[in-house]
Amino acid sequence: MIFLQLFYEFFKIGLFSIGGGLATLPFLYRLAQNHPQWLTPQNIADMIAISESTPGPIGINMATYAGFQAAGPLGGLIATLGEVAPSIIIMCIIGRFLSQFDKNQFVKDAFYGLRAVVIGLIIYAGSKVFLVALFAERTLRYKEAVLFIILFALAMKFRKIHPLIWIVLAAILGILLQLPS
């Protein structure tokens, strides 16, 4: 039963999270509310950090993690399959009728509206991650806030530095800030 539930929940996420991995985050936060034994908001924030630091899409990484938490390795596999199944199905259908879709004005208009909602979903998800990362039970995490401000300012000033450098630097600083005094 848990396997069917995992597949179903992640199939819904995969089907409706248009716009890529970050667009899955509002759905994942809702899933954390409904199934806290699978994942928590803190797990989501941690997995975003891991997912942005490693290869692979956020949504798939989160599906694998939550499935594994809920039902071990097979649960991870089934949740991941549920997450990717809608994309595979939709791409097969679109691929078959692509020539009819690319010139259709309704499709163009729909994508115009979808772009706007995807931006909204990503901003919503980013704000949730921001709050989880910088606040614990309505208390500001000062070290994290200072680290965020410094790295954000540096990244804005030195835009040509590869994102991997910022990720490695943040990981090192995170380790140093957590070391016992």
Q: How many Cα atoms occupy the beta-carbon half-sphere of 27 within 13 Å?
A: 24
Phi, psi of 102 (to 5 degrees): -70, -20
| Higher-confidence position of 180 and 15 | 15
pLDDT at 1 over 80: yes
Element (H, E) at 31: helix 25-34
For 117-161, write each residue's pLDDT tens digit. Answer: 888 888 888 888 888 888 877 788 888 888 889 999 999 999 999
For 25-52, write each residue's pLDDT tens digit. Answer: 888 889 889 999 888 888 888 888 777 7
For 57-109, write each residue's pLDDT tens digit. Answer: 877 888 888 899 899 999 999 999 999 999 899 888 877 776 677 778 887 88
Q: Which residues contact 21 (CB under 8 A, 6 or more apart)?
A: 51, 57, 58, 59, 60
Please report the pLDDT score of residue 124 as a whole number: 85
Q: Which residues contact 18 (CB under 8 A, 6 or more apart)?
A: 114, 117, 118
Please report the pLDDT score of residue 83 as a whole number: 92
Please report the pLDDT score of residue 179 as a whole number: 65
Q: Which residues contact 43 (CB under 8 A, 6 or more apart)?
A: 32, 65, 66, 69
Query: Is 37 in contact with 75 (CB distance < 8 Å)?
Result: no
For 152-167, write each residue's pLDDT tens digit. Answer: 999 999 999 998 898 8
pTM score, whole prediction: 0.63
Query: Is 46 in contact with 118 (CB distance < 8 Å)?
Result: no
